[in-house]
Amino acid sequence: MSAALVSVIIPTYNRAHLVGRAIDSALAQTYPNVEIILVDDGSTDGTGDLIERRYAREPRVSYLRQENKGVTGARNAGLRMARGSYIALLDSDDIWKPWKIELQLCCLNRFAQAGMIWTDMEAIDADGRLVSPRFLRTMYRASYRWFPTSESLFSTSEALAIVFHPAPASAAGARVYVGDISSQMIMGNLVHTSTVLLRRERLERVGGFDESLKPSGEDFDFHLRTCLAGPVAYADVASIQYQVGGADQLTRSEYGIHIARNFLRTIEPVLKHSRHRIHLPASMLACVQAEAHAWLGRELLAHGDRPGARKHLAESLRYRAFVPSALLLFAMSCGPSFTYPLARGVVRAAKRALRRAKPA
């Protein structure tokens, strides 16, 4: 095993009650040559005092405090400080398995062409109870529905037990997959950030996170650019515990409009300027654009922006004429008497009727 340094970037904001367990999980790695860069994004809950008390004598932990810039600005600040040949990303409410980094390094050593590797993840609740042993495809179901198996995503695979020995018991029968998935990624995010390990060379090609894509939805843009830069790898094992249901998580429903807008902002330039690189059926590309506009249209309608909703729902219909939600919501957004809850109820009723009408 190489003794290369791994830089672990942990952004945090007002998570003094959680951040210690994330740091401890990085310090407890079976691969010890890590530096942990904690970027405090203007916390007001005593995070700095906690770090001083618990980690002042730990040379592998560096603490950087900055004015609040959001998670993208915090991650970028950490990336600028990183000295490692490899870069790992860890959110402050997530927990790594002890073998996470060692396993991923073994995989990248085996597959030199891969510039990034990610994994599956467990979901836990606020009390640490297991909610799901395999949560990646659940959290990103809208993207993974196009690719029901890892074999439909990747061109090459190998048994994980051959690449990493001894493999954890949870990895029995698991495989590591490698390939160019730049086309597939256009259908939506397939990568969870806290599971990622990148080579520095790939990061330098990709650059940092786009700080204009805030407060949420910047991860997809970063991972898409990483995949566009070359082959990547996926280890089919849960290497982290991801906490669900947090009151401060950026996946909460009120961030939906930002995620929807940033999703569209991410795919449109690629489809416009790099269409020759996307090897997917035209019907799939039309579908993802129709769904992206419909998604943003629904969010805008929910926020009372009828003109904006009308524009994006009409654009959705241009790509795909028979999207029930877009069709109905577009019609309803034209009339002032329809509220969003009423429109949503009618759409759901229409979808149920369509499902019942399908032949067995």
- pLDDT tens, residue by residue, 189-245: 999 999 999 999 999 999 999 999 987 889 999 999 999 999 999 999 999 999 998
Which residues make beta-bridge pairs with 233? 117, 178
**What is the spatial distance between Cα 267 and Cα 114, in angstroms, rounded to a whole number?**
23
Per-residue pLDDT at 255: 81
Distance separating alpha carbons of residues 2 and 55, to the nearest angstrom: 26
pLDDT for residue 350: 61
Ranges in the chain, pLDDT < 50: 1, 250-251
Q: In this predicted structure, what is the pLDDT of residue 1? A: 47
Alpha-carbon gap, residue 215 to 285, rounded angstroms:
26
Alpha carbon 341 to its chain centroid, in Å, reads 29
Question: Which CATH code is given to the segment(s) 6-251?
Answer: 3.90.550.10
Which pLDDT score, from 0 to 100, does residue 320 have? 86
